Structure formats: structure tokens, C-alpha cells
Amino acid sequence: MSSIDTHFTTRRNVALQPGTLQAALLDRLTRTLGKNPDSATARDIYDALSLAVREELTLRWLATQRRVANAHVKRVCYFSVEYLPGRSLLNALSSLEGGLLQEARVALRDMGHDLDDIAAEEVDPGLGNGGLGRLAACFLDSLATLHYPAVGYGIRYDYGIFTQVIGTDGGQREVASSWLRLRNVWEMPSGSARFIVRFGGRIKAPENAGPGDLHRWVDTTDIYAIGFDQLTPGNRGPTVNHLRLWSGRAITPFQIDAFNAGDYAAAVQEQVEAKNLSRVLYPDDSTPQGKELRLKQQYFFVSASLQDILATHLSEGRTLASMPDSIAIQLNDTHPAVAIPELMRLLVDEHGLPWAESWQITTAVFSYTNHTLLPESLETWPVAMFERLLPRHLQIIYLINRDFLQSVETRYPGDDERLRRLSIIDDGGDRRVRMAHLAVIGSHRVNGVAQLHSDLMRMHVFSGFADMYPDRFINVTNGIAVRRWLKQSNPGLSALLTEHLGSCWENDLEELGRLTGAADDPEFRRQFRGIKRTNKQRLADESNSSTTWRAPSMRTPPCMTSCVSCSCRITMSLLRKESCRRRICPSRFPRPAWRRREPAI
């Protein structure tokens, strides 16, 4: 019997602990994946190591959920259509105690592999394409590190961030990027997280019911929202939170009668339409179908998330009246703002609460983060489309708007211009629902993402609302997750900081203030310069060895495209005026000034 055979006939269920990493890896490789270590590929090794790490995180996550449920503490629920969490393996190993990251390097080296090569097998989750998603992921990381019980909610896109390629004609083109084409060992299907989401239909009101009383939403088109969890570990601590992502599924995924009749497309049509809700991040909204799909996506994920929140809240023996003391929901931009009328619908229509009490709960639970100062970038939806897809929600928005405008009229009597400017419904031309106005009115806190941004938001974009609710507007300056963007991205500098400060700086950057004295230490300065030079050399080696650079790109929104086009036209006009003097031949896209060569004199 070989040594490997002997090892696995005497050991079972090897837990991931310091000193046992290689044994745990081999255990998952052979028992779980059924692979021979001698012929295992890099992908097999990655899957096995990831499973061992995920199982350890799962135990900590279950313990976290038990602590939170038993203590009846407040949860943070983060709603965002984008997340850019990055790769999980190195982040998880780095977050666990006991030097598991270094142990993994040694164990894999003994097996003839390099940890960085194994980690490169992981595909970045395609759940976002810009700063909005990166901010959301950094918040989840920090919440877990600071031991706040938190859940992130979003959409499990089949094709999230697109891949940009350059065609033979030199033009830019985007192609689908399927990050789920291989097994994603970091996600866990949540069997209990399955909720029905409804669209369309009509409203049926009981006899003598008032506008704010219980109504029935009937004759709807229903689909399932299925939850998938990805774990978010805190750094060097016991807390593990999760990101719950929703995927669309049909109630009846296959119509056997249609299939037997030869109509194969109709047999799976419901499943295709349901899956389209979680198919692509930011579907092109230049067509009516694209606009409708975007609104349905937003409602799909907030409805499932709110149903999940209420189910968890009630299962712990808490009352709906206690929600403001138990739940805080943060809206990351206006995309999830439809959650405000959805929570009102759930409280009034599904749980029978009075309108006034439901509104008090709703405004106490929600907070809203604004990301843009451009009025044209603030999301709006046509009233006609809203009424067709979400008729009950439009009724609720009308009632919210009525009550709000009455309070404005009371405070500013006769100011019709103010009423028009602050109304949730834009009645100019094509009537539209202003989602940013809805988010401000339905939240108890509204924040910008930098002090200057927050000041401009108060003084210009939402000045009328700031007059009404001066204490509602605050600033929360954006930051980054230090664990990923310093500890992992710059291991040389991280090691130097740990040598002088210990590991406490990883969770509290204020500790860097203790390095003030090191500025006068020649040896510290020498090491610091050496780290910078090494990093620059790595970048130079990478650029010399690669013929292709991969850089993240994002789809440009129409308002930004217009600004860029206008700037290009102005620049080209100015260059034409100066072309004779400076001998510059303007091109369609002028080169930056630092790349132009002045003519020799």
C-alpha cells in the first residue's frame, strides 16, 4: 500500500488548522474531488484548497449567525446591483489566523506547485464594473472585520462585467464574460432562500378600502428568486458574513405539452425569461425591452431581499415594530430605491400594518448613498412602464408623494415651483418617476461619498430636500479595504509595517501614525526604498514579458459619452486654431499633450 493510500485509510475529515493544511488539501482532493494527487491539474489543486478553506469559513459563518440570532443585535443589510469582491482564495487565507497563507505556499511548493499560479486559476466574480461595486465589496469586508453582523444583497449575474476586445478594424467591442463557466467553489446554494417575485397583473381593492389600506395584487406573472451565498471573512477574527446573490428561475421551468407538440422554444420560454433577469449586468437600455429588463432586475433583487430579511427577522421571534432597532438597510445609489415602496407593500398588504406605522418603520430602516452630482444621471422611469410592471408600487409612490407634497405646502404655502421641483413624479412631458427623490424622502439618512461631494449634493442637487430635512444629509468618505489593497497587493511593504507595528495596522490604519519616528531611521528608509524599487522592477518585468495588457474597463453611460464627445469637439476646434503655429495635425481623437512631440526648431 502506498503512503498516500495509508494516509487516507487512517485519516478522515481533516480540518483546516495551522499545521494541517497539506493534509486537508489532499483530503479534499482525493475524497471530495476523486483526483489522484500525482496527476491532479492546477485547477484540481485550486478546487481542493478552496474547498478546505471554504469549509473552515462555513463553520465560522454558522457560529456568527448563531451569535447574532441569540443576541438579537442589529443587522446591516447592504443593497447594491454591483459588487467587485475580487478573488477569494488568497483573501481568505490571508484573513485566517495562524500563518495559513505562508503554510499554503510551503505545502504547494512541496507538491510541485506555486501558490500564485494556483490562485490564478480563480476567475474574478463578474458582479460589477466600476467603483460602485468595489465600494460595496470594501464595505462588506470592513463590516466583517469590525464584527458588525451584515448581509450584502445583489444579483448573481451569469455574464457580469464584459470583456473588451479590439477588433480587426481597430474598434472596441465587448463580448460576454462568463465567470460561472467553471465550478464556483466559493458559493453555496441556499436552499431556504427561495422567494416568489411578481410582475404585472392588476390591483384588487376590498370594498370601502382607502388608498393606504390593504390591497390585493392579482393576476401576476411570477418567478422564483433563488439565493446563492458567498462568504465574507473578517480579517484575523471570528466573524464571517455573507453576500446573498439572487438568480432567476421559472416557477414551471419546462412545459412538456409544448415540447411534445414540437414547439421546443415555447417549452422553455418561461425559464429563459426568468433567467434573463439575472443574465447580464446593466443590459443595454437603448431599447424599450432593455429599459424594462433593467427595472425588472432592480425590483427582482430588492423584493427577494426584503422577503428574506422579513423572514429572518420574524423567525427570530422579533416583531415588525422592532425593525428599526433590528435592521439597517443601506441603498447603494438609486438602483435599489424601489425597495422603499416594496417594503411598504409587504408591511401593508402582506402583514396588515397601518399605513402610518409602515411608513414610520420604512423611513427608520432605510438610508441612501448618492454617487452622482449630475441631475441627468439620476435614475428615472416612465410612469407608463412602472404602471404596467409594478402597478401596486406606483399607487404607493403616489401616496408617498401626496403626503410629502402636503408637508412641503404646509411649510412653503403657495410655492408651486418648489412643489414641482421636489415632487417624486416629473410631470414635464413624458411623466417619469424620480428614483433619487423617492430614495431621499424614504430614508432617514442621505450621504455623499466625499466631503466636497456631500457639500455640493446639499447645496445643489438636493438643496430643496436639505431645506426640508437639514439633519438628514451627512458625509461618509469612501475608503478601501486595507487587507486587499495593501496587505495582499504589496506584501513587501506589509511585511515592513508588521515588523515595526505588529499586525494591528491591518484593522486600524491610525496605527500608521506610530511610524513617525521611523522617518529618521536610515535602515527603515533603505528598506522602504528597496521595496519600491522591487515593485517597480516587477512591473517592468511584467510589461516586458507581456504582449497584451488586461485592464478593467466599464461601459460608459450615455451622459458621460455626451460629455466626452463635447470635450473632444472643443479640443479639436482649439487644435485647429493653433495648428498653423504649433504644426499639429488634429486627429479624430487627439493625443494627450504629454505624448505630443514639439517640432524641432
What is the SS3 assignment for 400-466? Answer: HHHHHHHHHHHHCCCCHHHHHHHCCEECCCCCEEEHHHHHHHCCCEEEECCHHHHHHHHHHHCHHHH
Q: What does the pLDDT read at residue 448? A: 95
Looking at the predicted structure, is the pLDDT value of residue 8 above 80?
no
Decide which of 560 and 373 is more confident.
Answer: 373
- The rounded distance, in Å, linking the Cα atoms of 297 and 246 is 10
| Sign for the pseudo-dihedral over CA of 255, 256, 262, 264 | positive
Q: What does the pLDDT read at residue 39? A: 92
Locate 391 and state its grid cell.
402597478
Locate 294 and state its grid cell.
433593467
Q: pLDDT category, 580, cuts 50, 70, 90? A: low
DSSP reduced 3-state for 425: strand
Q: What does the pLDDT read at residue 145? A: 94
Locate 536 and state its grid cell.
517597480
CB 185 within 8 A of CB 196: no
Q: Is 454 left (phi over 0), alpha (psi -120 to 50) or beta?
A: alpha
Angstrom distances, CA of residue 437 to CA of 90, 333, 348, 369, 406: 41, 12, 22, 12, 15
- Please provide the average confidence, as pLDDT, over all residues in the chain: 88
Looking at the predicted structure, is the pLDDT value of residue 597 above 60?
no
**Number of Cα atoms under 13 Å in the Cβ half of residue 145:** 23
- What digits encode the pLDDT tens for the residues 206-257? 888 887 889 999 999 999 999 999 999 999 999 999 999 999 999 999 999 9
Cα angle at 406 between 404 and 409, to 5 degrees? 115
Looking at the predicted structure, is the pLDDT value of residue 70 above 80?
yes
The gap from C-alpha 566 to its chain's centroid, in whole angstroms, comes to 31
Q: Which distant-in-sequence residues (6+ apart) come within 8 Å of 595 by Cβ?
A: none
At 477, which amino acid appears? T
Q: Is 228 left (phi over 0), alpha (psi -120 to 50) or beta?
A: beta
Q: What does the pLDDT read at residue 545? A: 67
At 407, which amino acid appears? S
452-472 mean pLDDT: 95
The gap from C-alpha 139 to its chain's centroid, in whole angstroms, comes to 10
Residue 299: other Cβ atoms inside 10 A: 23
- The rounded distance, in Å, linking the Cα atoms of 555 and 541 is 30
Angle, in degrees to the nearest 10, between helices 391-411 and 355-365: 90
Choice among 121-135, 181-195, 548-562 with the minimum mean pLDDT: 548-562
- Which contiguous run of DSSP H or E holds residue 196? strand 187-199
Decide which of 191 and 3 is more confident.
Answer: 191
- What digits encode the pLDDT tens for the residues 299-352? 999 999 999 999 999 999 999 999 999 999 999 999 999 999 999 999 999 999
CB 104 within 8 A of CB 21: yes
Residue 379: other Cβ atoms inside 10 A: 20
Locate 45 and state its grid cell.
489543486
CB 162 within 8 A of CB 254: no
CB 323 within 8 A of CB 351: no
Q: What does the pLDDT read at residue 598? A: 37
Q: Buried (b) or exposed (e) across 122-147, using 16+ Cβ within 10 A?
A: bebbbbbbbebbbbbbbbbbbbbbee
Q: pLDDT category, 13, cuts 50, 70, 90? A: low
Choice among 27-31, 458-462, 581-585 with the minimum mean pLDDT: 581-585
The gap from C-alpha 250 to its chain's centroid, in whole angstroms, comes to 24
289-300 mean pLDDT: 96
Choice among 284-288, 358-362, 496-500, 585-589 with the minimum mean pLDDT: 585-589
Looking at the predicted structure, is the pLDDT value of residue 593 above 50?
no
CB 85 within 8 A of CB 125: yes
CB 308 within 8 A of CB 271: no
| Sign for the pseudo-dihedral over CA of 113, 114, 118, 120 | negative
534-547 mean pLDDT: 80
- The rounded distance, in Å, linking the Cα atoms of 486 and 512 is 13
Looking at the predicted structure, is the pLDDT value of residue 124 above 70?
yes
Domain ranges of the chain: 1-71+88-121, 72-87+122-163+175-475, 490-512+525-547, 563-595
- The rounded distance, in Å, linking the Cα atoms of 110 and 118 is 14
The CATH architecture of the domain made up of 72-87+122-163+175-475 is 3-Layer(aba) Sandwich (3.40)
* Highest mean pLDDT out of 134-143, 369-378, 537-546, 577-586: 134-143
- What digits encode the pLDDT tens for the residues 386-429? 999 999 999 999 999 999 999 999 999 999 999 999 999 999 88
Q: Parallel, antiparallel, or unpaired for β 432-434 and 425-426? A: antiparallel
Q: Buried (b) or exposed (e) across 267-278, using 16+ Cβ within 10 A?
A: bbebbeebbbbb
- The rounded distance, in Å, linking the Cα atoms of 276 and 296 is 10
Spell out where 310-413 has E strands: 327-332, 366-369, 380-382
- The rounded distance, in Å, linking the Cα atoms of 446 and 368 is 5
Q: What does the pLDDT read at residue 556? A: 57
DSSP for residue 97? S
Locate 423 and state its grid cell.
415632487
Q: What does the pLDDT read at residue 558? A: 56
Cα angle at 22 between 16 and 27, to 5 degrees? 75
What are the residues facing 155 on neighbouring strands? 246
- The rounded distance, in Å, linking the Cα atoms of 342 and 306 is 8
Q: Is 192 left (phi over 0), alpha (psi -120 to 50) or beta?
A: alpha
